[in-house]
Amino acid sequence: MSKKANTSSRGSDVKLVQFKLTEQAYNDLNRLREDTGSISLSEVIRDSLYLYQWAIEMKKKGYSVYCLSDDDEAKKYEVVMPFVS
């Protein structure tokens, strides 16, 4: 993905989706909203979806996806996604 998805909730192409979450999942979403300064849970979900789509696209292209520590390059963690081929 070369560009970030439009995270605006304006426009005629917006769809309303409802789903059930456990209390823990709901709390996790709220924590992410607070940690990122997002204005809504919808923004957190859209941003998360964008990152998930990007990671899957990279894996499909044969790349490995890693998380590297800013202060110590020896700390490297691979994002394992065995369900993506």
Q: Is the residue at 2 inside a domain?
A: no
Asked if residue 84 is part of any domain, the answer here is: no
Top pLDDT among 77 and 30 is at: 30
Global pTM value: 0.72
Which range marks the domain in which residue 38 is found? 23-78
pLDDT band for position 9 (cuts 50, 70, 90): low
Half-sphere exposure of 82 (CA within 13 A, CB side): 0
36 occurs within a structural domain: yes
Q: What is the pLDDT at residue 84?
A: 80
Residue 2's pLDDT is 43
What confidence score (pLDDT) does residue 58 get?
Answer: 93
Amino acid 44: pLDDT? 96
Q: pLDDT by residue (tens digit) across 65-77? A: 988 888 876 788 8
CA distances from 79 to 1, 52, 63 (A): 18, 11, 11
The answer to whether 42 and 5 have CB atoms below 8 angstroms apart is: no
Q: Quote the number of domains for the chain.
A: 1
Q: Is residue 15 part of a domain?
A: no
Dihedral over alpha carbons 74, 64, 29, 22 (to 10 degrees): -110
